[in-house]
Chains A and B, each alone.
Chain A
Amino acid sequence: MTRSKRLDATFAALADPTRRAILARLASGEASVTELARPFEMSQPAISKHLKVLERAGLVSRGRDAQRRPRRLAAKPLAEANGWLEGYRRFWEGSFRQLDTLLEQMKARRKHKGDIR
């Protein structure tokens, strides 16, 4: 998968609030499907469906324990997604810092004009 395709899959998977909540839960440690289903008013098959989407996006992987089959967070795609968002934030932070400088110059010029008058 290309980086762009991978990001698309990640973001599609993240677009759902239940899936985000599942990831938030997995961020604090691995959990079985039963454990994951507990806080949600949802059936296990419904949760399993969400988990499949997350697995396909590479956000969640399965642990070794064959009995519990715990799910765990795969952090790399999330780091990529977050990196993208950081790009968006950086654009505005960088721009606004420049704007601060420009505004200081504009204020100084206006003050100077006022002094001459």
Chain B
Amino acid sequence: MSTAGTLQITAQGDRELVITRRFDAPCTLVFAAMTKPELVKRWLGVFGGWSLAVCEIDLRVGGAYRYEWHGPKGARMGMRGVTREVTPPARWVATGRFDEAWYPGEEINTSVLVEQRGQTTLTNTVRYESQEARDMVLKSPMEKGMAAGYDNLEKVLATMAQEG
């Protein structure tokens, strides 16, 4: 597990967000873990008292998927979408929308898996309906434009926290 990569979240173009992560397992296993409901139920959002109580995936083009998470104190979260394209075990494209989305429109999720020496890199590109929607999700402080001032900002925040 020590060879697994660190998570990266970056902005790409106006409307996209790219999440990358390397896994210490071959492509076929990662694809299965990402698309078979009984396996997805064991990891996606499953931590900190949350479970993926409902997980239905019809992996055919035009097929629907549905996720429902149950959290502490009766908290609920849901997401649904439709498969647009699927090429096992390397690529899966699907639309998606949270039940209570805090940003406008649907997102389009493209997951690409590339295996190299037994390890697999997942690149998940999330395309939002508009730049506005993407920015609402990304929340700028981590964007490049902010990076220069960010180290300083951390110090400022730390100081202010101390001062109360």
Known A11-B136, A85-B139, A96-B7: A106·B150 in contact at CB below 8 Å: no
- The distance in angstroms between the C-alpha atoms of A12 and B47, with both chains bound, is 31
Contact B152 A28 (CB under 8 A): yes
**CB within 8 Å: A-B pair count:** 121
Contact A28 B149 (CB under 8 A): yes
What 1/0 flags go to B43-74 for Cβ under 8 Å of A? 11111100000000000000000000000000
Binds A, one of B22-30, B87-95, B106-114: B22-30
Which residue of B is nearest A84, CB measured? B139
Say yes or no for B33: interface residue by CB 8 A criterion. yes
Tally of B interface residues using CB under 8 Å:
42
Known A27-B149, A98-B43, A103-B30: A92·B19 in contact at CB below 8 Å: yes
Q: Label chain B's interface by main secondary structure.
A: helix
Query: A103: shortest Cβ distance to chain B, in Å?
Result: 4
| A42 partner residues in chain B, CB cutoff 8 A | none
Tally of A interface residues using CB under 8 Å:
40
Say yes or no for B86: interface residue by CB 8 A criterion. no
Say yes or no for B32: interface residue by CB 8 A criterion. yes
Which residue of B is nearest A14, CB measured? B140
Contact A103 B136 (CB under 8 A): no
Q: Label chain A's interface by main secondary structure.
A: helix
What 1/0 flags go to A25-38 for Cβ under 8 Å of B? 11110000000000
Say yes or no for B148: interface residue by CB 8 A criterion. yes
Contact A103 B29 (CB under 8 A): yes
Contact A76 B21 (CB under 8 A): no
Say yes or no for B132: interface residue by CB 8 A criterion. yes
Query: B88: shortest Cβ distance to chain A, in Å?
Result: 16
What 1/0 flags go to B134-145 for Cβ under 8 Å of A? 011111111101
| A103 partner residues in chain B, CB cutoff 8 A | 23-25, 29-30, 33
Query: A63: shortest Cβ distance to chain B, in Å?
Result: 14
- The distance in angstroms between the C-alpha atoms of A89 and B6, with both chains bound, is 11
Contact A89 B157 (CB under 8 A): no
Query: B30: shortest Cβ distance to chain A, in Å?
Result: 7
Contact A85 B142 (CB under 8 A): yes
Contacts A81-B139, A96-B7 known; 9 new A-B pairs at CB < 8 A? A15-B131, A23-B153, A27-B153, A81-B140, A84-B139, A103-B24, A104-B24, A106-B25, A106-B33
Query: Using a CB–CB distance below 8 Å, which chain B residues touch chain A?
Result: 1, 4, 7, 9, 19, 21, 23-25, 29-30, 32-33, 39, 42-48, 131-132, 135-143, 145-146, 148-150, 152-153, 156-157, 160
